[in-house]
Structure 1
Amino acid sequence: MSKLLTVVGATGTQGHSLIHNALADPSHTYKIRGLTRNPNSDKAKALASNGVEVVQADINDEVSLVKAFEGSHAIFAITDFFEPFVANGPEKAIEIEVTQGTNLAKAASKTKTLEHYIWSTLPNGKKLTDGKYIVPHFEGKNRIDDYIRSDKNLLPKTTFFWITFYGNNFQYPIFTPNYIKSAHAYVQLSPADPSTPIKAIGSPRTNIGIFAYAILKNPGITKSPTGRFVMAHSEDTTAGKLLSDWSEVTGNASKYIVTSLEDFASVWPGFGQEMGIMMAMWNELREKSWSGEEGVVTREELGIDLKSLTTVKDAYREMDWKALL
């Protein structure tokens, strides 16, 4: 008999990628329930047509989540920092995200059938830098991590899931190279040195689900009495190589320009500060950027073949650069 996998944010990048991989499993280990705010969207209808039980749920409402999680053996949970960030700024967005993530954890803890809880989170930059760098879209998730750790019923069932730099992040204005006519090149500004190590996930639409489903298939190494961390990444690169790979794929000459965090933030108010802090932090932490927890499970331990994963270049090839530039 198939177990029930409930996926929060079923129509988003992470949730949809996991659902795609679960549906492709010939063993049909899981029936799938997808949670979404709008079950009438085209993406939700497409999921339903593929046999997914699409359920409307509100992560701001713990009661609705308790009901939506009923009977689940596994739950994939995610929160969206950036929607409240755009509307309310970083501090309020952290507050909203923490409330939502805590609602998810409380509802999961009350799910009697639950065996495995995957929580999509990020490393604790504040702890890694002794408070020097506080990245808001990391900080909210880290506070939710702490809440999960305080729940002795949920913690042994939890995998804390780190997903590294998206290959398609170059579609966002803060990362998209801009053409400077007099330089005859596309210029990318960054507060990080081009040698800054970057762990990347390639095309997130493909690779995230491969890792997330491998977590579910390997509970012996992805769960522990004190919780377990898993890192999803397909390649080690650098800030500068991300740009040179972009040039190779698009055929556009480019130049990488290091700037101060203050100047970077002033070019893109709001998002420049948010992402600039992250890049500055990675510039300082270097190889320690994805660390701070014991026994982080990697691709090799999950038995994922590197050949099955996409690369950053693959992510670039998926994108419509004529429209973006």
Structure 2
Amino acid sequence: MANSGKKLVVVLGATGSQGLSIIEYLFKHSSSLFRVRAVTRDPTSSKAQSLASLGAEVTKADLDDEPTLRTALEGANAVFALTDFYDKMTIESELSRGLRIAKIASELPDLEHFVLSSLPDARTLFGGKYQFNLPYNSKAYIKEGIEKGYPSLWGKTTALYISFYYQNWLKYPLVFGPMKRPDGSFVLSMPYPGNACISTTSSLDTGVVVDAILRGGSKYYRKPVGLITERLTEEKRLQIWAEDEYRKRMESVGFPPILAQGMTELAEVIAGPENYVEAVGVVKGRE
């Protein structure tokens, strides 16, 4: 442990959605317990510099370069490990990176907790129906590799299962969200019914859960922890987004925020399920 008496938490992927949330939360709520080393490929980026301004030790490392990774993990009491299937879009690449992290972490003399950003094994879900969910399979192979190849590390590992991020709905419209058509309208296409409930959360909530895991220590060893805020249908998500877009449009043409909200609610009432002009007790004009 460092001279400060605080435990060193090393966060890989520090400038991504998960890493940023974790580091910002730890500094805001647990700075008396932890100090943070933020690991990134580009310490000069604006996000990395913002973490440095918080007090993080920003370190450069590449998950494909073992020497830099060893330096980044040196002295860690806790590690948040993150790999990204979409970086190279191959299981082999992500698996290699995940096991490289595990190998180095297993050799750290002062390591107390290894938090692995992971996903459930889709091959075992729904009676084995889905065998080619590559991002999930890749994470499953990493977990299996740690459990079998590094049992001592697995003994202090917590797998974090994060549900669908609200933010990804608009960040990756080709896969998840509304696509803008040439005429300016939007179309939402997905391979499941619009009323299907999707486990959802915000990337900003990652830090809350990781902080709790680190504080809980052995309570969470060898256990998966799921992060979910609510189950939301695509129909409801689209409604929320449309309301927000309408409100922004009203503000863009000069309506103050309170009036923009009022215009949004006016539109919702008109299109709402209650036919207020023909409600009980209302005399119909045609009568």
- Tell me the TM-score normalized by structure 1: 0.69
Aligned residue in 2 for 1:159: 158
* Structure 2 gaps, min length 5: 248-287
User: Is 2:223 the counterpart of 1:228?
Assistant: yes
Contact 1:66 1:110 in 2 (8 A): no
AA at the equivalent of 1:162: Y
2:126 and 2:143 map into 1 onto residues whose CA distance is 18
Say whether 1:24 aligns with 2:17. Answer: no
Deviations 1:24-52 (A, max 9, x none): 12552111111111112222122222211
Partner of 2:276: none
- Aligned partner of 1:237 in structure 2 is 232
Q: 1:179 to 1:79 in 2, by over 3 A?
A: closer
2:79 is equivalent to residue 78 of structure 1: no
Report the counterpart of residue 98 of structure 1 in structure 2.
Answer: 95
Q: 1:181 to 1:52 in 2, by over 3 A?
A: closer
Structure 2 partner of 1:312: none
| SS in structure 2 of the partner of residue 192 of structure 1 | coil
- Report 1:173-252 matches (<5 A): 173-174=173-174, 175-179=176-180, 186-202=186-202, 204=203, 206-223=204-221, 227-251=222-246
Pairwise CA distance, 1:69: 1.1
CA drift of 1:22 comes to 0.7
Distance 1:251 1:84 in 2: 37
**Which sections of structure 1, spanning at least 5 residues, go unmatched?**
86-92, 253-325
Shift of residue 94 of structure 1? 1.0
1:251 to partner: Cα distance: 2.8
Q: Distance in 1 between matches of 2:13 and 2:52?
A: 14
Alignment of 1:97-176 (within 5 A): 97-133=94-130, 134-150=132-148, 151-171=150-170, 172-174=172-174, 175-176=176-177
CA–CA distance in 2 between the matches of 1:162 and 1:239?
21
C-alpha displacement of 1:15: 0.7
Is the Cα contact below 8 Å between 1:192 and 1:239 reproduced in 2?
no
Q: How does 1:284-303 map to 2 (within 5 A)?
A: none
Q: How far did 1:185 drift?
A: 5.6
How far off its partner does 1:186 sit?
Answer: 3.0
Q: Aligned partner of 1:233: which letter?
A: I
Secondary structure at the aligned position of 1:162 is classed as: strand
Deviation string, structure 1 residues 278-316 (Cα, Å, up to 9, x no partner):
xxxxxxxxxxxxxxxxxxxxxxxxxxxxxxxxxxxxxxx
SS, match of residue 211 in structure 1? helix
CA distance in 2, matches of 1:40, 1:19: 17
CA contact (8 A) 1:62 1:106 kept: no
Aligned-residue CA RMSD (Å): 2.0
Q: Percent identity?
A: 36
SS of match in other structure, 1:111: coil
Q: Distance in 1 between matches of 2:167 and 2:71?
A: 35
Q: Which amino acid aligns with 2:164?
A: F
Counterpart AA for 1:22: L
1:7 aligned to 8, 11, 25, which one? Answer: 11
Secondary structure of the structure 2 residue equivalent to 1:207: helix
Higher relative contact order (CA 8 A, sep 6+): 1
Does structure 2 conserve the Cα–Cα contact (< 8 Å) formed by 1:200 and 1:236?
Answer: yes
Instruction: Using the TM superposition, give the Cα deviation of residue 189 of structure 1 relative to its aligned residue in structure 2, in angstroms.
Output: 0.7
